Structure 1
C-alpha cells in the first residue's frame, strides 16, 4: 500500500483518537518548510495546540506534555541533520507519534521515525517545494480527520493543480529573475518581507538562499512588523524583496509596499496573484498555498542572482567543511 499523509494520519487516529497537540520541528530550511503546516493547524484547529520549534530547542527544552497525545513532524532534506535525528528519536522515546519528511529513504532520520514520507527535490522547481507541500498536506489531514475541515475538498483541488502551476510560472519568470539579479548583484544587504503562511518562506529565502548560499546579509521582517521599527531604514535605494500573498494577509504586504514606494526604495515584488494562484486555490484555502508557489518562483531568482554574482548556490565557507561546530 502506498504511504500517504492521509493513510499515516488514519493509522495514528486508530491508535489514539485523542490527539491534542502537533509539534513541527527541524533545522534550517527544513524547519522553514514545516511552517505552512504549523500555520494551518494554528489557524484552523479549534482543539489542538500547534507549535513550531527548532530541533535542538526541542531536544534541550522539550515541552512538558509531549507524549501519546502528540504528533511530532520532523524533517531533514538529506536525513542526516544531527539535531533533527535526535529530535525524532527523543519524540519517539516520549511516546509521541512521529512522522518524518526526507529526500533519502535510507537516511538516519527515516530509520528513527515511526512514519516516513519520502519526497523528490531535484526533478523540477515544483519538487523544490515537495517537503513544504507534504507538511501542509499532513496538517490538513490532521485537522480534517480529528475534528473536520469544511474546505477539505477545495484543498485537495489546490494540491492537484499546485505542481503544474509552480513549474509553469517558474518557467515564465526568467526575464524578471535576470532583471532582479542585475539590480541586486552588488548589494551587501537585502531585506526580505512576507506574512501569513509565507512568513516561513521569507525566513528561508533570507537565511538560506541569501545568507548561506550567497553570503548576503538578509534580515527577515514580517510585513505586519515592518511599521514597528524596521521602517526607519526605508530610504532611497534600500534593497527589499517582498513576498505578496493572495489571501487574507495581502493587506499587510501591500501596506509595506506602499510605504517603501513613498521613499523610493529598491523593491522587488513576487506576488502570488501575478502568478495565478487563484486559478487552482479557492478563497477558502488560498492563504496556505502561497508559500509553495512563491518558493518555487523564488528559486529561479536565486539561481539568476548566483550567476550574476559568480557565486554558485553550492558554495560554502563552513557547512560540509568543518567537523566541529
Structure 2
C-alpha cells in the first residue's frame, strides 16, 4: 500500500481497543457515583468524530448526552454542565487551545473529565481526571477516536441495561484493527481512481446521513479543506433537499457516503436525485466492504470507522497526485488567530 506502515496502523488501533475495559470501568464508576449526564466536548475535527457516539446515546438511552463547542461554553456555560456531569474531551495533540481553556472552567465546576489524547505530556494529558492515551497521528486518529467514543457510549448503555447484546458487540469491535487493515488492502487498487475524482475539481458537495454524516463533514472540512485546500460544501443528506440541491448542475461533483444504519434511505434519496442533473456523482458505500464475522448491527455501528479507514487510503494517493502533502498548512498553527 502506498506510503503505509501496516504494523504501525495495527499497533495504534489495537491501542484504542485496549482502552475499552478501563473506559468501561471509569464510566461505571461515574454512573454509580451519581453522574446525571455526559458532554462530548471536543474542538474541530476531534469534536466531529464524537458525534456518532453522542447520537447513539441520544437515540438509544434515557441518559442525557450533549455535544457542544468548548469555545462557546467557555463564554456561556451550560445549565446542564454541573459537578454531576461526565465530560469527554478528545484532542490528539492534547494542546487544543479552546479545550485547554475550558478545562479550567470544568475543574471549577467539578465535572468529571475524561481526556482522550495522543500525548500524555500535554495540558489535556495532565489535566483530565481520567486520561486515556493512544499515540496516534493524523492519519490514524479518526479510527482511534471513533472506537474510544463508541466504547464510552456502549458502556453507558450496558451499565443502564439499555442494550441487550453488549458483549457480542464489543467482541466484534475488539476485532476491528485486523478487519480495518483488510479493508485497506482490499480497497487499495481503487483508491487512486477515487483520488482522481477529488483532484479533478476544486469544489465538491459532500454528503451523508446517519452516523456517517459526521465523516462527510470531517473529511470535507479537515482533510479536503485544511489539508488539500479544496473547497467543499458538506451538507447532511436530509438538508441536501432544503437548499443545496439548487447547486447541482452539469459538471458539479457530488460525493456521497453511504453507511448501513437505519438512515441509509436518506442517502439513497440523494443517489436517486443527483444523476438526473450531473454525471459527477461518486459514492463510497460501506456495504461494499467485507467485514467477516460482524453482525449487521455491528456493521452499522462501525460504518464511520470503515469510511475513515478507506478515506485514509484515498488521501494517501491524493496528496501524491496533487503534490500537496497532507501536512502542508498556510495558517493552521502557523500564524496568530
| Native 8 Å contact 1:198 1:243 kept in 2 | yes
**Aligned with 1:213: secondary structure?**
coil
Match of 2:127 in 1: 112
What is the number of equivalent residue pairs in this alignment? 319
CA positional deviation for 1:280: 4.5
Go from structure 1 to structure 2 and tell me whether the alpha carbon gap of 1:303 and 1:52 turns closer, same or farther (over 3 Å shift). Answer: same
Match of 1:207 in 2: 221
Q: 2:193 aligns with which of 179, 182, 190?
A: 179
Q: Does residue 1:259 correspond to 2:273, yes or no? A: yes
Q: Does residue 1:137 correspond to 2:155, yes or no? A: no
Match of 2:4 in 1: none
Match of 2:334 in 1: 321
Q: Does residue 1:51 correspond to 2:69, yes or no? A: no
Match of 1:73 in 2: 88
Match of 2:264 in 1: 250
Go from structure 1 to structure 2 and tell me whether the alpha carbon gap of 1:45 and 1:112 turns closer, same or farther (over 3 Å shift). Answer: same
Deviations 1:92-124 (A, max 9, x none): 32111111100101111021110111124249x
Q: Does residue 1:288 correspond to 2:301, yes or no? A: yes
Supply the distance in 1 between the matched residues of 2:246 and 2:59 (Cα, whole angstroms).
31
Match of 1:311 in 2: 324
Supply the distance in 1 between the matched residues of 2:88 and 2:198 (Cα, whole angstroms).
36
Match of 1:20 in 2: 36
Q: Give the TM-score taking structure 2 as reference length.
A: 0.89
Match of 2:26 in 1: 8
Supply the distance in 1 between the matched residues of 2:334 and 2:74 (Cα, whole angstroms).
25
Deviations 1:15-46 (A, max 9, x none): x1x32211101111111111121111111102
CA positional deviation for 1:12: 1.6
Supply the distance in 1 between the matched residues of 2:172 and 2:281 (Cα, whole angstroms).
30
Q: 2:315 aligns with which of 286, 292, 302?
A: 302
| Native 8 Å contact 1:162 1:293 kept in 2 | no
Supply the distance in 1 between the matched residues of 2:134 and 2:281 (Cα, whole angstroms).
34
| Native 8 Å contact 2:92 2:137 kept in 1 | no
Q: Give the TM-score taking structure 1 as reference length.
A: 0.92
Go from structure 1 to structure 2 and tell me whether the alpha carbon gap of 1:243 and 1:11 turns closer, same or farther (over 3 Å shift). Answer: same
Q: 2:238 aligns with which of 194, 205, 224?
A: 224
Gapped runs of 5+ residues in structure 1? none
Q: 1:100 aligns with which of 115, 119, 135?
A: 115
| Native 8 Å contact 1:92 1:113 kept in 2 | no
| Native 8 Å contact 2:209 2:237 kept in 1 | yes
Match of 2:13 in 1: none
Deviates more, 1:62-71 or 1:308-317: 62-71
**Aligned with 2:216: secondary structure?**
helix
Go from structure 1 to structure 2 and tell me whether the alpha carbon gap of 1:132 and 1:89 turns closer, same or farther (over 3 Å shift). Answer: farther
CA positional deviation for 1:147: 4.2
| Native 8 Å contact 1:72 1:99 kept in 2 | yes
Supply the distance in 1 between the matched residues of 2:106 and 2:300 (Cα, whole angstroms).
30
Supply the distance in 2 between the matched residues of 1:225 and 1:158 (Cα, whole angstroms).
33
